[in-house]
Each structure stands twice: as structure tokens, then as C-alpha cells.
Amino acid sequence: MSAVYKDDQDDWLTVCLKYLLFVFNFLFWVGGAAVLGVGVWTLVEKSDYLSLLASSTFAVSAYILILAGGLVVVTGFLGCCAVIREQRSCLSLYFFCLLLIFLIELVAGVLAYVYYQRLSEELKQHLNQTMTENYAQPGKEAITLAVDKLQQDFKCCGSNNSHDWTVSVYISSNQAEGRVVPDSCCKTITPRCGKRDHPSNIYKVEGGCITKLEQFLADHLLVIGAVGIGVACLQLTGAALTACFIYLLYKEEEDFGTL
């Protein structure tokens, strides 16, 4: 009687785990879509500013999230098939895929967190140099466009303040045509408006563009880290459920073999 009760209990647990795994797969797909979306959004929305950063950690974190999101789409389909068929080999493959994605997303989250810690120092060391030495120089068109967009989007002028431009290669050259700041510093851009640096004409923001860009990137690094680590924890839950399901199927096969 106890053996029959035990078999019924195992069957009940198997059914429950099967439905739980279906629910997990739905959450898995949603989480994967979030990961993929954040990765693409980061690269598309922030690509203009990537050329101003000294390291590629910010972009690498986004690419890792895109890779993880793509794997989730494939793995989610594999998980559904494995649960429906109740094949231990497919479930084992699914289990290892979950662990792989967990590691990938964890790496993205940790990279974002580490870069967040040293973002301020990097910008202080490199942004002013990048802006003053490379703006409007041959072969540096991407940086020029990024600086112009940065100053217009954040309504700022110069790395720390508008006086940073006085030592720039561009302002010191004949190309500037008498400008004291680039035209993108102007509140209303008109041809050669950068000749006058009065507060009524250009942006005078305390802290300059460094403060604005640092806050902007820091906010999005927190999103990358939170999404990466959050979905990675979801993967661990799925891996644990899958391992339990594989164990129950193994037990059922063993019990069936002893009959």
C-alpha cells in the first residue's frame, strides 16, 4: 500500500514540476526579451557616446547581454520541447544551457558593476583630453559628432566648463575662424555663433559635460547590471527545477525497470 502511495506521490510531484517548468519557460522568455532589449537599447541609444570612452567595457557589457538574450530565445524553445517529451537527455542539455546563460549574464552584470565603480575616474582622466585634442580633427569625425551631440543633448559646454576649449587644437587653429567655443555650445546654433561665450549665448553648466555624461552612463550601467544579475538568478531557479525534474524522471525509470 505504501509503495502505491509513494508512486502516486512521485507522479504528483512530476506533474507539478512539469507545470512549474512551463511557467518558468514563460518567465524565461520574458526575461530573455528584457535582456535582449536592454542590450540593443544600450548600443543604439548610447552608441554616439561610446567613442568618448577610453575603454570598451560599456559596449562589451551590452554585447554580452545581446548574446545572452539570443541564447534565451533558442534555449526557451529547447526547454519547452524537453519538458513535453520528458526526455532526460534533452532536459540535461537544457540544464547545461541554463547554467551557461547564467554565467554569461553574471559576467555582464559584474562588468557593468565594476565599470560603474571606475566610471567617474575614467571620464575625469580622458574626456577633456579627447574633446580638446580630437574635436574637428581629420579622421576623428565620430568623436566630433559625439561631442556636438553631447553638448546639445545635455546643454553643456566643455568637459569641466567652457574654458576647457581655450586650449583645444580646434580653437587654436584657423579652422575655428575666431570661435572661442564650438557652435554646439550655443543655446541657439547659428553659423559661427561660438565666437561669443557669454552665458546668454552658450551653456554654462556647473560641472560641465563630465557631470552630465557620468550620471547618464551610471544610470544605464545600473540597468545593465540589475537586468543581467536579476535574470541570472532566474536561470538558477530554472536549473534547480530542471534538475529536480530530471531526478524524478530517473526515479520513475528505475521504478519501472524493477517491476
* 7-11, 20-24, 33-37, 140-144: segment of lowest average pLDDT: 7-11
174's CB contacts (< 8 A; 6+ apart) are: none
Q: Where are the domains of the chain?
A: 2-258
pLDDT of residue 255: 56
Q: Which three cell numbers stand for residue 210?
A: 563630465
pLDDT of residue 135: 93
Residues 230-241: what's their mean pLDDT?
76
Residue in this structure with the C-alpha cell 587653429, named with its chain if needed: 173
Residues 151-179: what's their mean pLDDT?
92
- Tens digits of residue pLDDT in 135-161: 999 999 989 999 999 999 899 999 989
pLDDT of residue 194: 93
Residue 136 exposure: Cα atoms within 13 Å on the Cβ side: 18
Most confident of the ranges 25-34, 50-59, 149-158, 239-248: 149-158
Model-level pTM?
A: 0.70
The pLDDT > 70 percentage for the chain reads 90
171's CB contacts (< 8 A; 6+ apart) are: 165, 179, 180, 181
Cα separation, 68 vs 110, in Å, equals 14
pLDDT of residue 109: 75
Q: Which three cell numbers stand for residue 87?
A: 526526455
* Averaged confidence pLDDT in the chain: 79
Looking at the predicted structure, is the pLDDT value of residue 231 above 90?
no
- Tens digits of residue pLDDT in 10-22: 566 667 777 777 7
Inter-residue long-range contacts of 212-216, CB under 8 Å, 24+ positions, other chains counted = 212/150, 212/154, 212/156, 213/49, 213/52, 213/123, 213/127, 213/150, 213/154, 214/119, 214/120, 214/123, 216/49, 216/154
